[in-house]
Structure 1
Amino acid sequence: MMHRNPCFCAFLFAWITIVLWADPGLRAQAPATPQNPPDTTRDLKPVHPEDKSKTIVPGAVPQSYALVIGIATYKNLPATAQLHFPGRDAQSIYTTLISEQGGEFPANHVHMLTDSQATLANVSHELDTWLPSVTAPDDRVLIYFAGHGFISGGSGYLAPYDIDLHNIAATAIPMETLGKLIGTKIKGKWKVLITDACHSGAITPETDPKQLNQLLLDVNQSIFSLTASRDREQSFESADWGGGHGIFTYYVVQGLQGAADTNGDGVVTADELAEYVHTNVRDATSSRQNPTSERGSFDPNMLLAFNPDRVRVASQASLNYGTLVVQSNMDDTEFWLDGKKAGMVSKSAALRLPGLAPGSHTIKAVHMGYEPDGPREEMIYPGQESSVSIRILIPRRRTQSAVDLLDQGIEFYKKGFESNYKKAEEKLTQAIALDPNYSEAYMYLGRVENALWQDDKSTAAFQHAIAIDPDYEEARVSYASALLDQGGLDEAVRQLNAALERQSNDGTALYLLSQAYAREGEYASGKKAALRATEVAPGNGEGHFWLAECERHLNEASEAEAEYRLYLRQTNFNSGALGNANYYLVGFLLGMGSKHHAAEQDIWREQQGQANLGICDCEWMQKHYDAAIPFCEKALNLMPADLWANYRLGVIYIEQANAHAQAANTGSLSKDSVTDLLKAARVRFANVLTANPDTDEAGRARQYIARIDAALASHP
């Protein structure tokens, strides 16, 4: 068992006000969007922020926000001081917070910083700027930290990624400052602070009760502070807890997912979580680690989580929990407990799951291509450790006729076009009729139905494939691609993170994840995923395209332009080289998540157009208007009706008209050039109105057209 050493413990637009010839243009840049963490909910269903219809229980808070921080690798600490599991801890907390079997936080209301992202500057920005800017007095706010904690000069500090041990006071996060921010600047009805660090217990008022306790508690709102240990205790982490976690966080997650619900009402309150975590961590560490909370500081009935699956009529209150130790005959076997993935188990490493409520639990083990072991029931007894051996023995056997039908369906699918898709649908449906557990046939059927715009059928097919083989990574990635086509961004993120949990270097899953984040407006998270995509698959142009998209929206114009250009070099071919194939087929190699029929739109042309438009916009951001125009024109050659390309080129022509007007006033240019530019801009703005008259850009285009017409009338 390891401890945390106490010594080292959509499109960016600017509104340009033009007063032609005489008045300069004004530009207001939009701020960069703060980071939103990846969704690693596996098979927990995320909460959608737009879903206002669901009420958890009476008194549920209207909005919830969280900041989750996990730091295992520190920039300035020696190898012996690096940690192992804070990243996994943070991911597990995030998963639990956004799930409908946990905290029910909207996914885009939870920001996560891990390792090199969790610098002092970034953490301070989230605490001092983001949370105060988004929270309201009736909200629920949670802050979680896993990493090193320190005592210096009698004060407690949480250690960011770039802490300097020679100057802790200036490079770490004072717990006193954290208390002030939570108590005075961050708004909320319920405020939760959970810290898993060596000296995190110092955030309780043990060192200076009068001052620190007052800072944390002397506010009208309720604060629940739960810390991993007492002051000067170690906070342990181990591979024995759920495959690798801080012991404290392991029990926090178990508690929030429902294990702490002692009265069976489905609700986990602050009091229930505190008692559950205290009891289990003390028992697991033989009283060497004692989580702390200040009982006078919070409403004991504060709602922290709700799991409807845990609601039961008869209460089975008990503080004596059991442990399940799982062993397997096969490596890389997924183990499921009560319908949720609990971890991976192999021949050489058992999976230990402590903190389980006494009684019957449903277990199942799955491995791709084999019949599962289970589902079956296992009893957990209070205060006891139960062992279970799972056996993956029987390979799935396919009838040759079903295999032949799958192969025929795939061949039709690869040919593209609606007629071939319908033939593929017929063959795959026949294969499934012969073998209802044919997960590959379901996956390809999902792709085919998506190509046919049959969203409900596509979703059902992908879900069948995943239900048969929960570790079917390719099915999850394909499902996510279809969800991106359908606009199901949150669920796409969840499926992609589940796939990446299985294969962390899947370049396709990474660029799709970047696309999902970018389309949600979470560009920092999208950039992170895209950087990983370009690292593991540098030859995949899609990773570079979405990296460019994210960097452009983050106002990193020169970096974005370089990525767009690299994408164009890597995809310097045309769809004619593919013969008659529907380019949507290649979407599963290039352009996944961009569904089109070949007869309506060619994905290659569209993304080439988008890349050229991106370069145009980057040049515009850098005020290189002459350099921008050819790329906007190329974009419009590829996408003539594109609203954004027309709008951007119109704005650039206005910029040039302003510049030429000033030159005309000095006599160095003819006013005819100004007139020509205004007329060209008017054409582009008129195209914006034709493309979609109801957008914000269309509203601005009308204003531009009115001013252009007035200017042309006054200067014939």
Structure 2
Amino acid sequence: MMRIFGFGLLLWFIALTGFAPGRAQGQRDLKVEKDTTPESPAPARSVQIPRSYALVIGIATYKNLPEQLQLRYSERDAEAIYSVLISPEGGNFRAENVHTLIGSKATLANMRRELEEWLPSAAQEDDRVLVYFAGHGFVAQGQAYLAPYDIELDRIAQTAYSMHGLGSAFGKIKAKCKVLLTDSCHSGAITPDADVQTINRSLIDLTRSVFSLTASRDRERSFESPDWGGGHGIFTYYVVRGLEGEADENRDGIVTADELAEYVRSNVRAATSGKQNPTSDRSSFDPNMLLAYVPARAAPRESPPPRFGTLIVEANMDDVEVFLDGKSVGKVHKNQPLRLPGLAPGIHTIRGVKMGYEPDGPRDEMVYPGQEKTVTLKILIVRRRNKAAVEAFEKGLVLYTKGYEDNYRKAAENFEKALALDPNYSQAALYLGRTYNALFEEEKAKQAFRKAIEIDPDYLEARSSYAGMLLDIGATDEAIRQLTFVVQRNPRDAMAHYLLAQAFRLKDEYARSIEAANTAIKLNPNNPESYLWLAESLRLSGEYEKSIE
């Protein structure tokens, strides 16, 4: 699908006290401008990540727009941005500091509240603020607007969020560093090229004192397609890949503004055959500005050439989870390859996993600059358990279900025996983790849960159980990361949603806790813990009568 205009992915990074205001194939823009205050000598580089806040907005299905104007991947894009922001190998934002407005939550009222009240009140002088928007953009009476979920086309000025308002909101945020990513587009059936130019120009005009990375030139459109990572806006796909470390050209573990700009620019241009041209001005921003910290990427080797290659992953079965360099990049299906462009030249590890089968890989695959390479994953061997291992596991399971310390210790011995006999027995590792957790031996439990996930990375039950233990020991951020992985792959996982309700309650994010608890109750009305966290969050948010109900 072609998305009419690309407010591009506008990435604004405001340094110091600079003023900042206020997506078939679809469409998006990058321009860099710097604060005019005198430059001071650059200090020695050190990895210092400021306290950070983010608002992530994504709308694909609009309440009042006709079918032909609905988008496909905006909400998926927003989820990808959220995941990379809260990752310790990425944005390094604390989970409670990243608010999301996805789908029907992204109303005009909610956007105003988050942009004009929450961010200005939360962020302080030395903090970092990021706002991401994926969805439509429109023009009314010569003014450009971002389209919330409840926009009305005959009342755009009254029901959309104006660029002027965005500029004003950003100006009230006290943070030293501000980033705005807008991957906006709309259908060509309703917006002519002249309006595309108006929108892109409005974005540029709002960033006269900031670092801006614009997804396309004035009259260009930004694109979305299933060809990028299973379905993304092209611009957001490359931004996420870049922040995950692919843009770290010199392999020092840091993704700088210059690296991300060059990575996104070259890859978007190549992917669209020159139809979409991100732009940036190297003279107008600090090229060493830190955008992501990815220490796992650091390596004492020479920098690869500044060109990129593509892996096209195919599989003989549906629902095969693909891991690239140890990170999940999505699922591949039998007749639907997974395309992974924008990879740095060199050796990458690929692994395909499917629950109940032996994995294919990990194995090394060479990526060549400017070339596409097809990788075929073959999931062939059903895991067959060692008979003695199964017997030990079942004996341990009986003991585990009886409860009490003595039974737990005997159960742990049997699960350990099962794993020794069959090192790929992920269920034994899961229950070993649960057993040690029941014994309050958290370090052993953590090792066992991680073993279960290492054996079967798509073992969602293991990830949820691990998250539950993490909540018990106060590791709430990592729990949220594990649970986010689960619900993105299975939105109907009631256990994950009720654990998210608990996690957000512990983070004092009552609205998000209430939303997660209501989802859990809808999926499984018989789980009392979901009602507990719902009532608790309602009470703490001042809705006393609802909490009593």
Pairwise TM-score range, normalised by the shorter structure: 0.7 to 0.9
1:295 CA displacement: 5.0
Q: Which has the higher contact order (CA 8 A, sep 6+)?
A: 2
Question: Which residue matches 2:294?
Answer: 307
Question: Which residue matches 1:396?
Answer: 383
Question: Which residue matches 1:644?
Answer: none
Question: Which residue matches 1:87?
Answer: 75
Write out aligned runs for 1:375-394 (5 A): 375-394=362-381
**1:618-644 CA distance string (max 9 Å, x none):** xxxxxxxxxxxxxxxxxxxxxxxxxxx
Change (3 A) 1:502 1:354: same
Change (3 A) 1:293 1:331: same
1:129 CA displacement: 1.3
Check conservation: 1:190, 1:302, Cα contact below 8 A: no
- The residue type paired with residue 409 of structure 2 is K
Write out aligned runs for 1:218-617 (5 A): 218=209, 223-293=210-280, 298-562=285-549
What secondary structure is seen at the aligned counterpart in 1 of 2:481?
helix
Q: Percent identity?
A: 57
Rounded Cα–Cα distance in structure 1 between residues aligned with 2:452 and 2:238: 32
State TM-score, norm by structure 2: 0.87
RMSD: 2.6
- Equivalent in 113, 120, 138 of residue 108 of structure 2: 120
Question: Which residue matches 2:146?
Answer: 158
1:205 CA displacement: 13
**1:642-679 CA distance string (max 9 Å, x none):** xxxxxxxxxxxxxxxxxxxxxxxxxxxxxxxxxxxxxx
Change (3 A) 1:526 1:406: same
Rounded Cα–Cα distance in structure 2 between residues aligned with 1:529 and 1:303: 33
**1:343-388 CA distance string (max 9 Å, x none):** 1011011000000011111111111121111111101111111001
| Contiguous gaps of at least 5 residues in structure 1 | 10-55, 563-716
Rounded Cα–Cα distance in structure 1 between residues aligned with 2:432 and 2:330: 29
Question: Which residue matches 1:216?
Answer: 207
- The residue type paired with residue 143 of structure 1 is V
**Which segments of structure 1 move beyond 6 Å, counting only runs of 4 or more?**
208-212
Rounded Cα–Cα distance in structure 2 between residues aligned with 1:534 and 1:300: 49
- Greater strand share, structure number: 2
Check conservation: 1:197, 1:228, Cα contact below 8 A: no
Question: Which residue matches 2:64?
Answer: 76
Question: Which residue matches 1:3?
Answer: 2
1:6 CA displacement: 5.1
Change (3 A) 1:434 1:113: same
- The residue type paired with residue 494 of structure 2 is G
Check conservation: 1:229, 1:292, Cα contact below 8 A: yes
- The residue type paired with residue 2 of structure 2 is H
- The residue type paired with residue 180 of structure 1 is S
Rounded Cα–Cα distance in structure 1 between residues aligned with 2:421 and 2:91: 42
1:456 CA displacement: 0.8
What secondary structure is seen at the aligned counterpart in 2 of 1:387?
strand
1:165 CA displacement: 0.9
Aligned residues: 508
Check conservation: 1:270, 1:299, Cα contact below 8 A: yes
Change (3 A) 1:232 1:171: farther
1:323 CA displacement: 0.7
Rounded Cα–Cα distance in structure 1 between residues aligned with 2:310 and 2:204: 36
Decide which structure has the larger Cα Rg and report it. Answer: 1
Change (3 A) 1:297 1:78: farther
State TM-score, norm by structure 1: 0.67
Rounded Cα–Cα distance in structure 1 between residues aligned with 2:196 and 2:281: 9
Change (3 A) 1:248 1:209: closer
Rounded Cα–Cα distance in structure 2 between residues aligned with 1:415 and 1:539: 23
Rounded Cα–Cα distance in structure 2 between residues aligned with 1:534 and 1:356: 41
Check conservation: 2:309, 2:345, Cα contact below 8 A: yes
Change (3 A) 1:63 1:146: same
Check conservation: 1:237, 1:245, Cα contact below 8 A: yes
Check conservation: 2:4, 2:186, Cα contact below 8 A: no
Rounded Cα–Cα distance in structure 2 between residues aligned with 1:205 and 1:401: 67
